[in-house]
Amino acid sequence: MLWKEWRENIKWAVLAMIGLGLAEFYGLSQQGSSYEDQWATLCKSAFLMSTTFGCAAVGVVLGLLQILPEQRRDQWAALLHRPVKRSTIFFGKAFAGIALYFLATVPPYVACVWYVAASEHFAVPFVPQMVFPGVTDICAGAIYYFAALFVGLRRGLWFGSRAFGFLAAIHVSFYITGWGITLFRVPVEASLLMALALFTAGWGAISTNGTMSNQPWLARWALLAVIFYGVSALGEMSNVVLGMFSTPQYYYGTEYAMDIDGRPLKISVSKTAGTTITDLAGNVIKDERFASSSRYNFLVNFVQTSTYIGDPHQLKKESTGYSQGYRSNMTYVVLAGGSYDTETERWYYLPQQRQFVGYFYKTNQRIGSIGQDGFRPGYGQVESFKNDIAGFYYEVSSIFQSGSTVYRGTYDQRKLTPIFSQPGTEVFGATPLQSNQDQTIGLNLGAVVLLDKILIIDKTGQIVATLPYHQDMNQWGRVLVAIKPSKDRFFLHYMPSAWIKAQEQEQMPSYMEEMDAKGTLLNTYTLPPVHQQGYPRTWQQYISEGLETPAFYFGDLIYGKMGALCGSQRLADAYNYRMTDGWGWTKDLAIRTSTFSAIFAVVALIWARWTRFSWKRSWAWALFVLLFNLAGLITFRLVADWPIFVPCPKCQRKRSIQESTCPSCHAGWPAPKREGTEIFDQGSKHMEAPEAVLASK
């Protein structure tokens, strides 16, 4: 069987390998559609699109080509009547097919990895972990191969339960391509589990005529999982379609700001009144500068410097702030220096290696590396920074912090200059400053956050201003800093600390302080708490949240609690947030999902009894629907072995063909009418005894 499948389908695997390779190399050659795509290489959106859709297409085509040509009646009968078990036929097809799939997908990807790793092709460093997204796409493509086997082998309509094998694969694709996943092993495990489920469901489909009751128990559970996740994918696709036609959502709420003249403002945005700008006394500001969206040009730019001061509640996290998920290039390579117009070289920060790497932009030649011990040309090894570098989403700023030292990057001079370092002094943040919010006025200054004050320094490290705190930093530890364009006035904005519960923060005021370069307090403004409406919830969101699966929702809570008890800080933080600040949302969602599930469970119970399921089967399906909400109800409809009803020949009422007597009139099935063709009927008078037939011959 293995050799037969390999010999018949090797040509399709080779053609798929060539086509996929061309698509992947084309994706690598594209400039990119977004800012970070300029240096993304293996994480470039065009390349990942070719691996995501290309591997899935290869899996589908190879799977269907193995099954559909043999589905013709005589050919399929000849195949199944071989002197081997049906499971042997299936295993031979599946093992040979998955080997052909990897032959078609792995070599092109390995060639792309080699092409990127060769330094003369791209002016971007190669980080080995950048292969993770493509590897997960290859794993996901294997799901589509087994989905094709399942769809080809299962009996039924193409638009019925049969098609849900492909939908289950789409559900996993939705999941593993999500930007919230940070661990590489999570999508690999999800792909492996779904591939195993589809493999087992396909084995169950070829072993029987497709009914659930005749399949092995393992195949039954696999079929349930496949159909359920297929239904989940249908819901996700529906949300996407509804989102395309939904009304755009706008932000409504109130925020405080300060104009470039040092005047605190209150900016309110409502659905009916539009944008209203007042002073703290409530007087409407009639200033033409604030009449349009260009008003941000006339507001000072408050930069958040730290969410905590002194860290009294252990909120400090060891994180660079760059990790955006395993599929994001920002997790592996971050731009540190160089423009895109007249640049001759580019410098990058590698968060996982904690060092800087430079390349000549036009020749793609590596310049060298900068680490804790300075610059090394070419591929010389440098010492990694002992602490992570805090930075922004898209690039490392000109002023950044590593541990207790603040650096200024001068990459054209091949060095990082320490501009602040005091042994024994802990730094809680460092960031460059801009004068106004649209950043059209640069100041080339930076803010260094300490335990008792903020230092404003210039590019040489000279202290320009010292700004002491005048509030309780245990209560108002989120501090933002701003500066007037004239550089003679500095502003601090104190907001409630991150450790305080969200409900309490909404009731607390915030403060703005104005100081001169010597730290003399000139003005203090108390900002009353305001209600933040944020983005209103749409009816699509409300319904989709209510249809969430209770088994997974409550199971996730239990998993978080168990993980916290076992010492996982990540799970403990997530669980504590849901039980404290997020308790209102957690309780509301628990009530809604439980209510929806209970309603659908009652519907399932009535439906099952109406179709004459036994009480045992009816309660089992009702419990299943109670655990899995609307998706469970649809799965029940698609998977359960529904009885076939026909009119009773005597009373004309509906009765199941599996029942020997009619439940209404208790009549049995009548004997079939004779047509004279019953040659095997022993009671037929036209049949001759075997001895007579032999004697006549």
CA 513 to CA 494: how far, in whole Å? 8
Domain limit, last residue, from 214, 245, 276: 245
Domain annotation covers residue 671: no
Please determine, for residue 666, whether its predicted confidence score (pLDDT) is greater than 90. Answer: no
Q: Alpha carbon of 485 to those of 141, 408, 445: distances in Å?
A: 55, 22, 12
Please determine, for residue 581, whether its predicted confidence score (pLDDT) is greater than 60. Answer: yes
- The pairing of beta strand 253-258 with beta strand 442-449: unpaired
Non-local CB neighbours of 129 within 8 Å, separated by 6+ positions: 184, 331, 332, 352
Please determine, for residue 277, whether its predicted confidence score (pLDDT) is greater than 80. Answer: yes
CA 110 to CA 99: how far, in whole Å? 16
Look up tokens 């040659």; give the residue: 679
Q: How far is CA 375 from the centre of its chain?
A: 38
Strand partners, 270: 274
Domain annotation covers residue 655: no
Domain annotation covers residue 692: no
Same domain for 472 and 412? no
**454 or 540: which carries more pLDDT confidence?**
454
- The pairing of beta strand 366-371 with beta strand 374-377: antiparallel
Domain annotation covers residue 653: no
Q: Is 403 exposed, middle or buried (0-12, 13-18, 19+ CB in 10 A)?
A: middle
The structure's pTM equals: 0.78
Please determine, for residue 603, whether its predicted confidence score (pLDDT) is greater than 80. Answer: yes
Domain annotation covers residue 693: no
Query: Residue 686: its pLDDT value, please?
Result: 46
pLDDT digits (tens, 9 = 90+) for 355-382: 999 888 888 888 999 998 889 998 889 9
Query: Residue 492: its pLDDT value, please?
Result: 94
pLDDT band for position 318 (cuts 50, 70, 90): very low
Query: Residue 688: its pLDDT value, please?
Result: 47
Same domain for 358 and 372? yes
Query: What's 258's DSSP letter?
Result: E
CA 672 to CA 649: how far, in whole Å? 12
Q: How far is CA 417 from the centre of its chain?
A: 39
pLDDT band for position 693 (cuts 50, 70, 90): very low
Please determine, for residue 35, whether its predicted confidence score (pLDDT) is greater than 70. Answer: no
Same domain for 8 and 107? yes
Query: Which amino acid belongs to residue 215?
Result: Q
Same domain for 451 and 593? no
Q: Among 25-29, 245-249, 565-569, name the most confident range.
A: 25-29
Mean pLDDT of 40-45: 87
pLDDT band for position 420 (cuts 50, 70, 90): confident
Query: Residue 57: its pLDDT value, please?
Result: 95
Same domain for 457 and 556? no
Domain annotation covers residue 6: yes
Same domain for 15 and 67? yes
Same domain for 83 and 153? yes
Please determine, for residue 111, whether its predicted confidence score (pLDDT) is greater than 50. Answer: yes
Q: Is 287 exposed, middle or buried (0-12, 13-18, 19+ CB in 10 A)?
A: middle
Domain annotation covers residue 696: no
Query: Residue 154: its pLDDT value, please?
Result: 83
Domain annotation covers residue 573: yes
Query: Which amino acid belongs to residue 459?
Result: K
**485 or 37: which carries more pLDDT confidence?**
485
Same domain for 364 and 448? no
Same domain for 613 and 517? no
**687 or 552: which carries more pLDDT confidence?**
552
Non-local CB neighbours of 53 within 8 Å, separated by 6+ positions: none
Domain limit, last residue, from 493, 519, 536: 536
Q: Please, what is the end-to-end C-alpha distance for the chain in angstroms? A: 46
Mean pLDDT of 41-56: 91
Query: Residue 550: its pLDDT value, please?
Result: 86
Q: How many domains does the chain have?
A: 4
pLDDT digits (tens, 9 = 90+) for 182-237: 788 889 999 999 999 999 988 888 877 667 777 788 888 888 888 888 888 887 77
Q: How far is CA 532 from the centre of its chain?
A: 27
Domain limit, last residue, from 399, 427, 455: 427
Same domain for 81 and 128? yes
Query: What's 448's DSSP letter?
Result: E
Angle at alpha carbon of residue 665, lines to 664 and 671, rounded to 5°? 120
Could you list the residue range(s) of the whole structural domain that residue 451 is in?
Answer: 250-311+429-536
Same domain for 412 and 494? no
Enclosing H/E stretch for 226: helix 217-245
**570 or 481: which carries more pLDDT confidence?**
481
Same domain for 202 and 224? yes
